[in-house]
Amino acid sequence: MAWTSFPVDRFQGAIRAPGDKSCSHRALMLAGAANGVSEISGLLEGEDVINTARAMQALGAEVEQTAPKRWRIKGVGEAGLRSPFAPLDFGNSGTGSRLLMGLMAGYDLTAELTGDKSLSSRPMARITDPLKLMGAQFTPEGRDKLPLTLTGRADLTPISYAPKQASAQVKSAILLAGLNADGLTEVTELHATRDHTERMLRSFGVDVSVRPGRGSQNLVSIRGGQSLQAVETSIPGDPSSAAFLIAGALISPSGGVVVEHIMSNETRDGFFQAAGRMGAGLGAEEIGDGAGERLVDLQAATSELKGCTIPETLVAAMIDEFPILAVIAAFAKGETRVRGAEELRVKESDRISAIVAMLRVNGVEVEEHDDGFTVMGCDGPPPGGGLVETRHDHRIAMSALVMGTASQKPVAVDDIAMIATSYPEFLDHMRTLGADIRET
Ligand SMILES: O=C(O)C1=C[C@@H](OP(=O)(O)O)[C@@H](O)[C@H](O)C1
Ligand SMILES: C=C(OP(=O)(O)O)C(=O)O
């Protein structure tokens, strides 16, 4: 059964952004390992995050939902995480599985990790290689994919490691393992990636040092043996989810949207910067701080967009926003070029190939590169009329449905179920703003 987004004349209103997915995973993990009882509000209750909550429970933390989006977690503290009785199923979530591998590596436990078809096809050696150097073991040996069984140890060896990819998941897994290593663990990033692990570790009372390295490198280090102390915290709004609503306003014939309570963090704002370069009318109003992050209400209105070359320095800060960037590029005048984004090949789907197919089936000219794509903008609404293969990728599904709100003909997707992994309220929010999305 397909779902179709029909063109609408206006896309207007105000929406409070759902809780940030990256911060929600991290808050549950750190609270589950901490001493004491943490209270977390504004948690994203998407499937990916719920799988992390279940995993923390299986590892010995007491995890309880006290009200919608409010969670109480009694951490294991000095007792440590324990071996779960059954495999930990991370569903669709790269972040949940990879970060928790890092955290679990520093405890005397054995755990099997599994995931859905998409997650089971994603590379894991980027995580298991550094964790093995620290002393964790993985079976079957030499395997790069889930399912994997991890055996951790409480006396990990610290490492100084330079991952080949600019990846917040790799950095975070190593830092979380470093929490229980005997000495200083250091990660040299190719470029700075999202820094939520560093910020959240600090809010749980752990010292993390960040300093610039050579060129664009970023050096992050943590001394092992520090203990996590429970917190009361509220999760800021997710800029990656907000990007869909903002894009809807930019391409609408009559767009005017405010997305409230979005985290404003320069390691995450690449899409908004790129859209600004393309001529997007965006306005941000500062509304304070939450959980160590700045918060803004972001406004967007119908804009005449022009294509641009996305600077490679912005890629890490918009790594999840390329599907929706491709949509606004289809409405723009001129070409939009993306290079240096080869990591998109190993997300929930091969996102370069999925983006190219999404645009082509809707009559938009696009060229595929090994590490990116070039969109020939339509200078106005693209033809539409296509059925997009989502390839079990939530961001492809949401991007295609946003495209349908303002293309010449409706845009359909083959499935929407996986949208619940990151943004369960997506359809409700889109409809509140005026979208006409129906099962067809
Ligand atoms: O650390 C995180 O929370 C994330 C890091 C990114 O992955 P990579 O580290 O693989 O780039 C991003 O794509 C993912 O959605 C969330
Ligand atoms: C890549 C993503 O998530 P993850 O790696 O956690 O599956 C995403 O949400 O776009």
Please give the C-alpha separations between residue 80 and each of 89, 228, 240, in angstroms, as whole numbers: 21, 11, 33
* pLDDT score for 220: 98
H-state helical runs in 235-308:
239-251, 270-277
320 is annotated as an active-site residue: yes
Give the sign of the dihedral formed by CA 348, CA 349, CA 351, CA 354: negative
Give domain 21-234's CATH superfamily.
Enolpyruvate transferase domain (3.65.10.10)
CA-nearest residue for atom 14, ligand 1, is 95
Share of the chain above pLDDT 70, in %: 100
Q: For 84-98, what is the mean pLDDT? A: 98
Please identify which of the residues 320, 415, 428, 436 carries the catalytic annotation. Answer: 320
pTM over 0.90: yes
- pLDDT tens for residues 189-223? 999 999 999 999 999 999 999 999 999 999 999 99
| Spatial CA neighbour of 219 closest among 190, 259, 262 | 190
- Residue 383 gets which letter from DSSP? -
- For residue 393, the ligand 2 atom closest to its alpha carbon is 10
- Residue 310 gets which letter from DSSP? P
Task: Give the confidence band of 1 by pLDDT, cuts at 50, 70, 90.
Answer: confident
CA-nearest residue for atom 3, ligand 1, is 22
- pLDDT tens for residues 53-71? 999 999 999 999 999 999 9
Domain residue spans of the chain: 3-19+236-439, 21-234
CA 164 to ligand 1 centroid distance, Å:
15
Q: CATH number of the domain at 3-19+236-439, out of 3.90.550.10, 3.20.20.70, 3.40.50.150, 3.65.10.10?
A: 3.65.10.10
**Residue in this structure with the two tokens 């949208």, named with its chain if needed:** 419
**Ligand 2 interacting residues, C-beta cut-off 6 A:** 92-95, 320, 347-348, 395, 422
Q: Read off the amino acid at residue 88.
A: L
- For residue 22, the ligand 1 atom closest to its alpha carbon is 3
Considering the chain, what is the average pLDDT of its residues?
97
Question: Counting Cβ atoms within 10 Å, is residue 50 exposed (0-12), middle (13-18) or buried (19+)?
Answer: buried
Task: Give the confidence band of 153 by pLDDT, cuts at 50, 70, 90.
Answer: very high
CA 190 to ligand 2 centroid distance, Å:
20
Residue 63: partners with Cβ closer than 8 Å, 6 or more residues away: 28, 32, 53, 54, 56, 57, 71, 72, 73
Residue 73: partners with Cβ closer than 8 Å, 6 or more residues away: 28, 31, 32, 34, 37, 38, 40, 56, 61, 62, 63, 64, 230
CA 10 to ligand 2 centroid distance, Å:
30
- pLDDT tens for residues 384-401? 999 999 999 999 999 999
Task: Give the confidence band of 122 by pLDDT, cuts at 50, 70, 90.
Answer: very high
